[in-house]
Chains A and B, each alone.
Chain A
C-alpha cells in the first residue's frame, strides 16, 4: 500500500515545464521574454495562468484584449482537459519545455469553451467528478458528501495540496467488498477526435479482472490492431496487463476519470529512450 501511496504522490507531483510566449501578431511594441513555468499535470490551465496573463497583457493592445486562450502548434488548447492530458496529446512529440502561445484576441469559441472565472473551472471539475461517480456508484457517494467536502477537494486541487484533496477523494475511490465500481470512468483521447467514453465494467462476466488491454480492445479495437500506437496515462506507458480497477483507483486524474491518450508511435520515437 505504501508503494501505491507513493505512486499516488508521484502522480500528484507530476509537473511539466511550460514556456509561454505571447502571440507574435498581438504584440504592439516591445517583445516580451517568454515565461517559463512548472505546471502540475493534474490541474487545469486557467488555475495556473493568471499571473502569466496579467504579465503578458501589458504588451498588447488594450482595446483588443479579449479572453486569454492558449495555442499549441496551431491547435487551441482545451482548458477543460487536465494539463497532463493535453501535454500527452499535443506536446509529448516535441521537446521540453512545452511551448505554448498565448492569445488575447480572436477567441475560437467554436472550438474551445469560455472560461471567464475560476467558477467555470470549478463547475466543470465538479460536474466531471459527478459524472465519474455516476458511473462508479450511481452518484451515491458524491451526493452523500457535504458541500464543504466538495469545496475541500476543489481548494486542494487549486492550491496543489495532496493532503487536502486525497482524504476526501479516497471516499470516492472506495468500494466495499464485492460491490466493485459499476463502470470504470475513462476517456480515450486521440489527436483531434472527440474523446471516446463508454460503459465498461471492471470485471468480465465470468468474473475475471479486466486489464487495460481489455478496455482498449473493447473501446478502440481498430487502434489495437496496429502496433504503431503508444498509450499514455500521466505521461507514462502503462503496462497493458495492469488491472483496470487498480488503475482507476490510482491512475485517475483528480476528476476521477482515467484519461488515456493514444498517439502515433512514429512521433513518439524520440522519447523512448529507456
Chain B
C-alpha cells in the first residue's frame, strides 16, 4: 500500500496523484487523440471529396463517350477529319443564318402587318376627325344663331321693359285719377245719403198726410154709410141673400178694416206629399198658392167653403220653400231647395224664369219694388238681387249668415232674418248693412205690417217679436206657454189690419195674438202635425194654414 508514505499530507498526496493521473490519462494522449480526430475528419472530408471526384470522373467519362460517339458518326457522314469539322461548323453556321433569316422574314411580315394595321387605324382616325369637324361647324352655326336670338330677345326684353315702364306710369296716373274719383264718389255718396234722409223725411210726412186723408176719407165714408143705412132703415126692403163668395171679389184687392178671427176649420185638404212649406193668399184674395216638399207649387181657389185646385206649377227640382205673388197677381215667385228661384205666370201657369246662382238652398224670395226685380236669400249666406229683364243676378250681398227669410220695404230696402239671430237691414245700392238688430233666437220668418211701420219676426226661442222700424227696436214680444216654433222656416204673419199676429206651433195649434195687448186672442186646433206656414186673407176673415204632413186647413166662420 502506497498511502503510508511518511510526511506526506493526504490531501497533497491526492493532488499529486491527480496530477499524475492527468499526465497519464490525459496529457499523454490529448495530442494524439486530437490529431486522430483531425485526421478522422480529414479522412471523412477526403472521402466525401473522393466520392464527388469519382462521380465527376464518371460523368466526364460518359461525356467523353458520348462525344466519341458523335465524332464517330460525324466522320462517317462527311468523310474527312478537319474539313469535316469545318464543313460541320459551316453547316451549323449556315443553319443558324438560315434560321436567323427565317426569323427576320417573320419579323418583316409582322412589321408589314403592323403598318397595314396602323394605316387603317389612321384612316379611321381621319374619318373621325372629319365628322368631328362637321359637328364643330354645326355647333358654331348653332352658336351664331343662338347669339342672334339672344340679341333679339335682349332687345325684346328692353322694349318690354320700356313698355312696362310706360304702363307703370300710366297705372300710376290712373291710380291717382282713381283716388280722386273715389274721393269724389264718397262726397257724392254723402250727398246722396243726405238727400235720401231728406227724401225719407218727406216721404214720412207724405205718409202722414196720406193717413190723415185716409182717415178723413174713411170718416166721410162711414158717415155716408151711416146716412145710407139710416135711409135704408127707413125704407123697408126685402133682402135677397147674396152668395157667400161675394165678399171675395175677384180682381179687386179687398181692403180690410178690421180682421175677424175665424173659429172653425171650414175646409181641410191634402195639398202635397209631405211638408207643405208655403201657403199664401194672392194679393186680391181670389186664389192662393201652396208649395211643398214634393217640388210642386199648386194654385187653389176658394169657393163655397171648398178649396179647388186650379193647377200645378212644375219646374222645381226640389222642395219649394217660399212663395210670393207680384202685386198685380200675374207672377208667382217660388224659392226652392234646388238652389234656384223660379217665376211662373199665374194666368197660363207656365214657368217663366229660373234664377240660378246660389250655392245653397234658397229659403226665401221676394219681389223688390215693382215686378222687375227679385231678391232671394239663401242658405249659402248670401242675398242676391235679380234683374228680371236681363234674367241675371245684378247684385250679391254677403250677409254673413244663412238667410231664413227676407222682406222688402218700400221696394227699395231689404230686411233679412238670419240663422245667427240677427235681423239685417240692407240698402241694395250699398254693400254694407245699414243696420242690424240682434234677437235671442234664430230668425225663422219676417213679415212687414200693413202700415209698413213695424216688422214681425218669428224666432226659435218660441217668441214673436214686433220691431218698430223707425226706432229699430223691439216694441212687443208675443209668446204663449205651449207655443213652440217647429222649424227654422216656420212663418208668422200679421193680420191684414195689423192688429193681430198669427203663427203655428209644433203641436199643430194655430195661435193668434193681439199685438197691442201682447196676449193670445185665439188658438185654433185642427192640425195633427206641426204647422209650417199660415196666411191671412186680405179681407181679414179667412185664414189658411199648412202643416208638415200634407194637410192645409182653411179657417172661416162663414
* Interface residues, chain A, with chain B CB atoms under 8 Å away: 3-4, 6-7, 10-11, 13-17, 33, 35-38, 96-97, 227, 234-242, 246, 271-272, 274
Contacts and interface: CB of A to CB of B under 8 A. Distances in A.
Contact of B10 (A37, A38, A241, A274): A241
12 contacts: A3-B15, A13-B26, A14-B22, A17-B26, A17-B32, A17-B33, A33-B40, A227-B1, A235-B25, A237-B3, A241-B3, A272-B2
B25 A15 contact: yes
A36 B33 contact: yes
Query: What 9 A-B pairs have minimum CB-CB distances, sorted nearest first?
Result: A239-B3, A17-B29, A236-B17, A239-B10, A36-B36, A10-B18, A242-B10, A235-B21, A36-B33
A272 B2 CA distance: 9
Given A239-B3, A240-B3, A272-B2, A38 B21 contact: no
Contacts of B32: 17, 36
B237 interface: no
Interface in B10-53: 10-11, 13-15, 17-22, 24-26, 28-30, 32-33, 36-37, 40, 43
Interface of A is mostly: mixed
Given A38-B33, A227-B1, A239-B13, A234 B20 contact: no
A17 to B, nearest CB: 4
B15 A96 contact: no
Nearest to A6: B15
Contacts of A38: 26, 29-30, 33
Given A10-B19, A15-B26, A274-B20, A36 B37 contact: yes
A242 B15 contact: no
A96 B24 contact: yes
Given A38-B33, A227-B1, A236 B25 contact: no
Chain B CB within 10 A, most for which of A6, A17, A234 = A17
Chain B CB within 10 A, most for which of A37, A227, A235 = A235
A59 to B, nearest CB: 13
B10 to A, nearest CB: 4
Contacts of A7: 11, 14-15, 18
Given A96-B29, A227-B1, A242-B10, A236 B21 contact: yes
Contacts of A241: 3, 10
B15 A16 contact: no
B26 to A, nearest CB: 5
A237 B1 CA distance: 9
Contacts of B11: 3-4, 7, 242, 246
Given A14-B21, A238-B3, A239-B14, A35 B28 contact: no
Contacts, number: 86
Contacts of A274: 17, 20
Contacts of B43: 33
A49 to B, nearest CB: 15
Contacts of A37: 33, 37
A17 B32 CA distance: 9
A17 B18 contact: no
A36 B37 CA distance: 7
A234 B18 contact: yes
Contacts of A242: 10-11, 14
Nearest to A213: B3
Contacts of A234: 18, 21
Contacts of A227: 1
Nearest to A15: B26
Nearest to A4: B11
Contacts of B30: 15, 17, 38
Contacts of B14: 7, 236, 238-239, 242
Contacts of B25: 14-17, 96, 235
B144 to A, nearest CB: 100
Interface in B277-322: none
Contacts of B13: 239
A109 B316 CA distance: 140
Nearest to A274: B20
Contacts of B1: 227, 240
A10 B15 contact: yes
Contacts of A272: 2
Nearest to A17: B29
B26 A14 contact: yes
Given A17-B30, A17-B32, A36-B32, 6 more contacts: A17-B33, A35-B40, A239-B8, A239-B13, A246-B11, A271-B24
Interface in B79-112: none
A261 B4 CA distance: 19
Contacts of B24: 96, 271
B48 to A, nearest CB: 13
Contacts of A35: 40
A10 B22 contact: yes
A14 B17 CA distance: 12
A251 to B, nearest CB: 8
A242 B10 CA distance: 6
B375 to A, nearest CB: 125
A236 to B, nearest CB: 4
Given A7-B14, A96-B25, A97-B29, A236 B3 contact: no
Chain B CB within 10 A, most for which of A7, A10, A11 = A10
B13 to A, nearest CB: 5
A11 B13 CA distance: 14
Nearest to A34: B36
Nearest to B44: A55
A241 B3 CA distance: 8
Nearest to A246: B11
Contacts of A13: 22, 26
A18 to B, nearest CB: 9
B340 to A, nearest CB: 120
Given A17-B29, A227-B1, A242-B10, A237 B40 contact: no
